[in-house]
Structure 1
Amino acid sequence: MSTLIEGLFNGFSIGSVLLIAALGLAIVFGLMGVINLAHGELMMLGAYATFVVQNIFKPLGEPWFSLYIIVAIPIAFIVSAIVGLILERGAIRFLYGRPLETLLATWGISLILRQFVRSVNWLLFISIGVFSLLFFGGMELIKRRSDWERIKNKVTALLLVLSGGIAIAFYSILSNNLALTKAWFSTRNVDVTAPAWLRGGTDAFGFQIPYVRLFIIVLTILCLIGVYWFLQRSTWGLKIRAVTQNRTMSSCLGIPTAKVDALTFALGSGLAGIAGCAVSLLGSVGPNTGQNYIIDTFMVVVVGGVGNLLGTILAAMGIGVLNYLIGSGTLALMFTNIKAPQAVLDFFFFFATSSMAKVMVFALIITFLQIKPAGLFPQKGRTAEL
């Protein structure tokens, strides 16, 4: 019984990370129908933001270092939300209603973000800043002209070429400066050190409960409460729910659907950043960190039912618990204790690794979707017809 309780707790802690990540994905997918394959990279950015905040607080010593995680959580949210907003405004808004193109575009964006993290340095950062200043600054100045609509396409193309050329020239001139070209993160994994009050654990039910996993569970509960309050009690939450149910009618009633889309995507991206902050406390952070969770996150959304908060919660916890119980060998040991047939023991010991556990859980999900193809809580009414 103690082994089972320990397995359930560890499974819930894994499910908590999946739930934070899946919350954002469920909101975005439920509202806009966007299959965002770059969601894992937004988690990665949140994890790296936590690493940077840790390094800023480290020279300050105690007790300030112990408080860095409190600062890192909103910073991770803001960084990922800003990047998500840029992606939505810069690319995804042109692809609504075209799921295949959206899938390919977000996949390409995920590759770009991973390579950006590997290569980013001060020179690249400054060059991007120069390009942004010239291009967007020029656009804002020229937009004031009365004939803007007539010359918009030509001016945009000209500014794009000029700004890009100047930024590339700036990069080439300073490329020999070693201090500016040193990579911030490179391809290696980096470690985030948990603050002192999150190290160790407490004994309960015959095993030790790590404080880090308790913290992640509490953080997940707070995120759930925050998302529920925002969607059910705030003005913009009401607008998001209205657009989700009927986009055309919401637009006719004066709701700015474009702003709602941007806000929703930023909110979902910010939640991915918080998930990345939680993930950074469990292991090392690298360019491929998000890829370890993206498949499970999509499975949570599909099994729970698109856009359904309760379904997302149940699916995340169920998948997290199954992954741990099967992959850790807990189920195999339990069947050994009750003296199950040898064939059953061999079956569960065969799947008693993290990779094979994912295979078994995936097979179970496929079987479940044959029975309930729309998930635990399918959409009903007019929303299901859209």
Structure 2
Amino acid sequence: MIDNLIQGVFNGVSTGAVLLLAALGLAIVFGLMGVINMAHGELMMFGAYTTFVVQNIFKSLGEPWSDFYIFAALIAAFIFTAAIGFLLEKGVIRFLYGRPLETLLATWGVSLIMQQFVRSVNWVILAGLLVFSILYFGGVWALQRRPNWDAIKNWAIAVLLPLTLAIAGSMGVFMAQIYKIAVTKPWFGAQNVDVTAPKWLRGGLAIGTLQFPYVRLFIIVLTIACVIGIYLFLEKSPWGLRIRAVMQNRQMSACLGIPTKTVDALTFSIGSGLAGIAGCAVSFLGSVGPNTGQNYIVDTFMVVVVGGVGKLIGSIAAALAIGTTSYLVGSGTFTNIFAGIKPLVDFFTFFATTSMAKVLLFVLIVAFLQYKPAGMFPQKGRSVEL
């Protein structure tokens, strides 16, 4: 009985560690900008697919490189998703600050686009996107150098946008006609792909009758490293100080000369990069598909709300509590622990599935928020009262 509880708690903590990795970026973004980013799960999905691609590249190099691809995958996932987050903030989020419902709808639409992009992406689509980006953003950058940019901005965009879309589309059609299937076949498709853990992460640490998988131990260590890194960045670095200042009082920070737009872009990029690292960890726990992010986005938001918006310690506590409770209930561990008490056995048996465990978890969270609506660690200060 004790062994089952210890094993269940360990697995729950490792699940909570993944939630914490994803929630770290979301908590910072939501706390700083008030943005409800429904595409955060898709950033995790991109991080998982990046891990898959890096794995295949290192496998082609043979041993011993294939055993250490995970370190390159973590770096690549962070950089790639941070770049996507930067573009998302510049192209969509920046125009919706102060309107949380609009950001929710806009990022939900972006998440659907990202899912379909992964299902359909091929060389034609990639080449078209690159051509469009170079022509459109390059043209806007060149026109911004003109002294009368403000006067011609609207008609310049009205001309550039359809023109660059037409050129990119024409080039895609030309490539498809010339190279046929070679460039039009989707890279990933709708089916799931699998990421294989390196040899040194297979198996587990045996302590008595207990078995602790190395993969889950690695995820816990990775989460601890990310939490320490984010804490040091926010508390010890100049940009961390600027982020905390903007989070507490945006207007006063702007008056003091802090570039709030740059802080927003940096914060959103870091949050997106953390989602990519979370996706890298998720890829070891199951197959990776276009809907991977949707399996975690709700739980991630629950961590942010229960822990307290913008609070690092709150996110840690909430992620561990939610992950552990969800696993212990859904896996039937509580059913085995309370085997001698029939009412409790019947109760936990009813909720001993993943979907029903989430129902119970939602009920507990709603009850908790009735008592503490601002979460475990609510924000304090004048900005909260405004």
Instruction: Give the TM-score taking structure 1 as reference length.
Output: 0.98
1:344, distance to aligned residue in structure 2 (A): 2.1
Counterpart of 2:209 in structure 1 is 206
Inter-partner Cα distance in structure 2 for 1:346 and 1:112: 43
Inter-partner Cα distance in structure 1 for 2:34 and 2:156: 33
2:194 is the alignment partner of 1:197:
no
2:324 is the alignment partner of 1:318:
no
Counterpart of 2:374 in structure 1 is 374
Counterpart of 1:187 in structure 2 is 190
Inter-partner Cα distance in structure 1 for 2:85 and 2:160: 24
* Structure 2 letter corresponding to 1:377: F
* Structure 1 letter corresponding to 2:73: A
Summarize the Cα distance change of 1:205–1:227 in structure 2 as closer, same or farther, 3 Å threshold. Answer: farther
Cα distance per residue 1:208-256 (max 9 Å; x no partner): 1000000000000000000000000001000000001110000000000
Counterpart of 2:50 in structure 1 is 49
1:143, distance to aligned residue in structure 2 (A): 2.1
2:304 is the alignment partner of 1:264:
no
Inter-partner Cα distance in structure 2 for 1:91 and 1:208: 46
Counterpart of 1:119 in structure 2 is 120
* Structure 2 letter corresponding to 1:167: A
Inter-partner Cα distance in structure 1 for 2:142 and 2:97: 29
Summarize the Cα distance change of 1:216–1:372 in structure 2 as closer, same or farther, 3 Å threshold. Answer: same
Inter-partner Cα distance in structure 1 for 2:241 and 2:211: 43
Counterpart of 2:293 in structure 1 is 290
Matches within 5 A, 1:1-386: 1-176=2-177, 177-336=180-339, 339-340=340-341, 342-386=342-386
1:205, distance to aligned residue in structure 2 (A): 4.7
Secondary structure of 2:205 counterpart: strand
Cα RMSD over matched residues? 0.9
Inter-partner Cα distance in structure 1 for 2:246 and 2:144: 30
Q: Report if the CA contact (8 A) 1:351-1:357 is conserved.
A: yes
Inter-partner Cα distance in structure 1 for 2:93 and 2:48: 23
Q: How many residues align?
A: 383
Secondary structure of 2:43 counterpart: helix
* Structure 1 letter corresponding to 2:338: F
Inter-partner Cα distance in structure 1 for 2:254 and 2:88: 23
1:146, distance to aligned residue in structure 2 (A): 2.4
Inter-partner Cα distance in structure 1 for 2:270 and 2:138: 27
Q: Report if the CA contact (8 A) 1:117-1:185 is conserved.
A: yes
* Structure 2 letter corresponding to 1:93: R
Q: Report if the CA contact (8 A) 1:2-1:205 is conserved.
A: no
* Structure 2 letter corresponding to 1:383: S
Secondary structure of 2:338 counterpart: helix
* Structure 1 letter corresponding to 2:355: S
Inter-partner Cα distance in structure 1 for 2:140 and 2:90: 15
Q: Structure 1 unaligned runs (5+)?
A: none
Inter-partner Cα distance in structure 1 for 2:12 and 2:150: 56
Cα distance per residue 1:108-166 (max 9 Å; x no partner): 00000000000000110001111111111222222222222211211111111110111
1:332, distance to aligned residue in structure 2 (A): 0.7
Q: Report if the CA contact (8 A) 1:85-1:265 is conserved.
A: yes
Secondary structure of 1:255 counterpart: coil
Q: Report if the CA contact (8 A) 1:85-1:266 is conserved.
A: yes
Secondary structure of 1:175 counterpart: helix
* Structure 2 letter corresponding to 1:320: G
Inter-partner Cα distance in structure 1 for 2:151 and 2:326: 58
1:268, distance to aligned residue in structure 2 (A): 0.4
* Structure 1 letter corresponding to 2:37: N
Inter-partner Cα distance in structure 2 for 1:204 and 1:272: 32
